[in-house]
Amino acid sequence: MRSTIVSCLLGAISTVNAIATISIKGSKFFTSDGDQFFLKGIAYQLVPEDPLIDNTQCKLDAALMKEVGANSIRVYHVDPNGDHKDCMSTFEDAGIYLWVDLDTFTTQINQDSPQWNATQLSAFEKVIDEFQQFDNTAGFFVGNEVLTTGNGSVAAPYVKAAARDTKAYRNSKKYRDIPIGYSAADISELRPMLQNYMACGDNSSEALDFFSLNAYEWCGPSSNYQVSGYSQLTKNVTDYNIPIFFSETGCIKPRPRTFEDQAAIFGDDMNPYWSGAIIYEWIEESNEYGLVTYGEKVDPAGVSAPPDGYTRSGTPTPISPDFDNLSGQWKTLSPTGVKASAYTPSLTPPPCPAYTSDFWAVNGGVALPTLGQTFNAAIQSSITKGTAAAGTATTSAPTTTKTGGGSPGREVKGMGIGLVGVLVGFFWWM
């Protein structure tokens, strides 16, 4: 009897201490407690292959992330075969959620020769299998900056097919409805067709659960809501029916980084439509976007030196004044949003954008690729020559807005190209 009582008490304590899970209702994220959720996130790829295995390091980093005010991290690459329980528990204890990319360098969808096959799906499923068990897993990305040109838009249906099949897998396994979305490069030629395409259509099982944008437009004290282009970005999403947030942001020029855009993102002009932002990035590397360092850069040619010269473990040291500037912004910004119980979604999916030469190569709501299908430009598949489905919009050339200091997503393909070199050297170093 005594053991039964103890077990019940321990179970009750566990339930009380568990972090609230994240789900979607309409165009907003909500916690299981019914509160609207806004991301205050940091991109966290401390080591190339998986930063969520070394719990000693996770504890050091999570404590400082909590101090800066983060409630989310984005991780671009993980090993689904690793043991993530301790690190995920550490971040949960700090009130921090995980947004994780499903693809790798070998399984990502490529805009030049897009395909979606069983090998890719299986790899995505393994990441879902591993991370669905954690209550602080908040979302999955099926791709990062796959499309970077108008001609590259032929890859959009393959990204959407990946979302369709991973959502179907999640549901077939009866996992929690962890949101599945996409992280887009901020390319004016593709905006807003891409974001509308990812949400369009009458079949919700084929649409993304959320859309996000890697945007570096608000740069320095001379920028503002109008000059930065944030006003135009917001104009494009006022009727968007799924959640949208900044999956990377934070210009580095001019210095110092002031993060003044955070006041706009979490302010009255934007928080009715946007669900927060993820700052790029945690560790200082050659791109100089870091918020912390782990010591002085060393000669990569030295004995036992890290391959790029940047130490990736130990006690994190905040970079001044950038770290304090971000902390100062987030401490003053606490949008309450709306309670789930008081919110009744009324927005409907946007029309699928029509084919427009040089800007958008997909013909409306054509059938998505089947598993195993590869795009063949020589025979002009149904992606570009299919019959437009009902609800297809007429597309005009996009308006170009001013872009700031350049996206590291463009420079390193959202941790892609930049990490390839590091990855090769890192395994040698290990």
On whether residue 295 sits in a domain, the answer given is: yes
On whether residue 93 sits in a domain, the answer given is: yes
145 given a catalytic annotation = yes
Instruction: List, for residues 218-274, the tens digit of each pLDDT value.
Output: 998 889 999 999 999 999 999 999 999 999 999 999 999 999 999 999 999 999 999
> How many other C-beta atoms can be found within 10 angstroms of the C-beta atom of residue 4?
8
pLDDT at position 415, please? 44
On whether residue 13 sits in a domain, the answer given is: no
On whether residue 405 sits in a domain, the answer given is: no
pLDDT at position 205, please? 96
CATH number at residue 152: 3.20.20.80
Q: Which residue in this structure is represented by tokens 């020589």? A: 378
CA count, 13 A, side-chain hemisphere, 223: 26
- Point out the catalytic residue in the list 92, 130, 145, 206: 145
On whether residue 142 sits in a domain, the answer given is: yes
On whether residue 70 sits in a domain, the answer given is: yes
**CA distances, 238 to each of 118, 246, 247, 277 (Å):** 37, 15, 18, 17
pLDDT at position 405, please? 39
217 given a catalytic annotation = no
| Count: domains in the chain | 1
Q: Return d(Cα 65, Cα 42) in angstroms, integer.
A: 8
- Point out the catalytic residue in the list 92, 206, 248, 285: 248
On whether residue 173 sits in a domain, the answer given is: yes
CA angle 77, 79, 84 (to 5 degrees): 105
pLDDT at position 5, please? 52
Q: Which positions of the chain have pLDDT values less than 70?
A: 1-17, 378-430
Domain interval for residue 281? 24-386
On whether residue 12 sits in a domain, the answer given is: no
**CA distances, 228 to each of 79, 91, 135, 232 (Å):** 37, 33, 36, 9
